[in-house]
A and B are shown apart, each in its own frame.
Chain A
C-alpha cells in the first residue's frame, strides 16, 4: 500500500469528527435558546426575590450576590488575563476609603465618590501593575507582590489619623437615596444585583472582543502572544485597570451597607481571598464561574455558621477544604465538571476500555 493511502483512515476519522461537530453546532442553536431561557428565569427570580423571602434570607442573598460581584471583578485580571492577584484588597479598600473621606469631609455624595474611588483604584492598579510587569514579575511573584502592596496600604491606613487610624471610619446616618443610604434592605439588594449584572455583561462582552482574546492569549502563553504582536504589558494593565475600578465600586457598596470601614476590613488579606475564592472554585476565566462559585460557597458558609456557631471565620475552614479539593481534583473549577464527564465518556466507559484492552492484546 502506498504511504499516502495509509493516512486515509485518519482522514476519514477527521471527517466523521467534523460531521459530529456540525451536528453539535446545530444542537448549540437550541442549546443557546435554552441557556437564554435559563438566564431569563434566573434573572426573574433574582428580581422578585425580596418579595418572596424573609429578612435573614435576603441578607444571605445580598452576601451571595456581593461575593459573586467581587469574584467577577477579580476574574477579569485573574481569570481572563491570568494574573493571579493576591492583593485585590488594595483596590477594594481604595474604593471604600475614597468614598468615605469625600462624604464625611465634604459631604460629596457616594454616587459621585464611588467613581472617584474607581478612578483612583484604576490608577493605582495601573501604577502597581506597570511596576510589577516592567520588572517581569510573573506567576507567584506577581501574587506575592500584590499581597505586599495590600499590606502596605493597610499599614498606611492604620497610621493615617485623618481617616481614623485603627479605629476606622463610621458613616454618619443621613438616610436618603442621594446619600446611598437606604431604609430598606431590598434596595441594597437591587443595587448589588444591578452591579453584578453589569460586570457580568462586561465580562461576557469582553470575552468576545479583541481585548478579551488578547487577555486569554497572554494567559495561555505570554511569549507566544508577544511573538504574535500582542502588546502583553498594555493588555495586562488594561485588565488590571478594569478589574481594580470594578472592585473599588464593590468597596463603596460594602461601606454603604455596613456604614463602617477600617484598615483590616478594607485592606486585609481576607478581602483578597474572598475576591478570588468563588472565581477559582467556580471556574476562573469563564463568564459564569464566579457566579457558580458564589452560589456554592455562600450557602455552604451560611450553613456552617449556623451549624457550628462559634466564632466568625469558622466557615473559612470549609472554604479551605473546598479550595484544596477543587485544586486537586478539578483545577478548572466546578464549571469544568460537565466537560470532564463528556471527555470521560468519549474516552470510553467500561465497555470501550475493555475494547481497548482487547485491541492491545
Chain B
C-alpha cells in the first residue's frame, strides 16, 4: 500500500464520513433531547432520497436546489410522527420505543416498495461527472459536494443550538425537562421541533447523496446501522461527538477496505461498535444528555 493510496483512502473516508456525521447528528439530537431511540431514522433518510429523486425526475430540479423542499417535507413528516406516535410513548419502556419506530420503519420502507418498486434509481448529473484532481489525489465531485453540504448543515445546526433562542430552549429541555417546563418553556413544542430537525437532518443527508448513491426502498438500513455506530462512538446525545465519530467511522471503513479483501470492510464499523459498547458505553468523548 503506497502512501498515496493511503491518503486517497483517508480522503474518501472523510467525504463519506461527513454524510454519516449529518445522519448521526439528527439521531443523536433526538436522543439527547428526548431520550428516544429512533429506529426509523434510516427510513427517513430514504424518504429524503425519494423526495430529491422525484423532484429531479418530474420537475428537473437538481437535488441541491430542491434541498429546501426536502428539508421542509422531512421536517413536517418528523413533526407529525412526533405528535401522533412518539409523544404518547415518551415515558413508555425503552424497548417499546424501539419497537414503535421499528414498525414505522417497516411501514415507510414497504410503502416506498409498494409505490416506487424495488428498482435501484440514480440521479445522473452529467456536469458533475469525473473527478477533481488535487495533487496526487482524486476527489469525486458529487461526494465532495455532499461532504461540504453535510458539514455546512451540521455547522448551521450547531450554531442554531448554541446561538438562537430556540436552540437555548432545546438545550434547556435536554438538560432538564421538568426544569425547562418550570421556567415556561413549551416542552411539547420543543419535542416536535427537535424531532422535525432530526428528521430533516436525515432527509438532507439523503438528498445530498442521491447524485452518487442509488435510491431504493431499503437503502436506509446501511445508514441506520452506521448512524448507530457513529452515535454510540461519539456518545449517545453528544452532538459534536457524532460529527467527529462520523468522520472516524468513514475513514475507518475506507482504510479498512484497503486492508481487507472483498466486502469484509463492512465488518469494521460493527466491530468498532461492539467494542465501544463494551468498553466505553458512554462513547469516546463521554455521552450523556448534553446536546452540544
Contact = CB atoms under 8 A, between A and B. Distances in A.
A50 to B, nearest CB: 32
Interface stretch (B68-76, B97-105, B131-139, B206-214): B97-105
A320 interface: yes
B267 A328 contact: no
Interface residues of B, number: 46
A316 B98 contact: no
A115 interface: no
Contact of A324 (B85, B266, B274): B85
Contact of A311 (B95, B100, B113): B113
A317 B111 contact: yes
A327 B103 contact: yes
A331 B106 CA distance: 18
Interface residues of A, number: 43
Chain B interface mostly helix, strand, loop or mixed? helix
B107 interface: yes
Contact of B99 (A165, A310, A316, A323): A323
B281 interface: yes
Nearest to B273: A148
Contact of A149 (B94, B113, B274): B274
Given A269-B221, A314-B113, A324-B85, A143 B270 contact: no
Given A135-B277, A311-B117, A320-B107, A159 B263 contact: yes
B271 interface: yes
Contacts of A324: 85, 100, 103-104, 107
B263 to A, nearest CB: 6
Given A141-B281, A317-B114, A323-B99, A155 B107 contact: no
A136 interface: yes
B92 interface: yes
Interface string B220-244: 0100010011001000000000000
Q: What 6 A-B pairs are tightest by C-beta distance, nearest first?
A: A320-B106, A323-B103, A320-B107, A317-B110, A324-B103, A135-B278
Interface of A: 84, 86, 131, 135-137, 139-141, 143-145, 147-149, 151-152, 155-156, 158-159, 165, 269, 273, 276, 280, 308, 310-311, 313-317, 319-324, 327-328, 331
Given A139-B93, A276-B99, 17 more contacts: A135-B278, A135-B281, A137-B278, A141-B277, A141-B281, A144-B228, A148-B228, A151-B270, A152-B267, A152-B270, A156-B267, A158-B266, A165-B262, A313-B113, A317-B106, A317-B114, A327-B99
12 contacts: A84-B98, A131-B274, A140-B37, A148-B228, A152-B271, A155-B266, A159-B262, A311-B117, A316-B109, A317-B114, A324-B100, A331-B92
Interface of B: 37, 85, 88-89, 92-100, 102-111, 113-114, 117-118, 221, 225, 228-229, 232, 261-264, 266-267, 270-271, 273-274, 277-279, 281
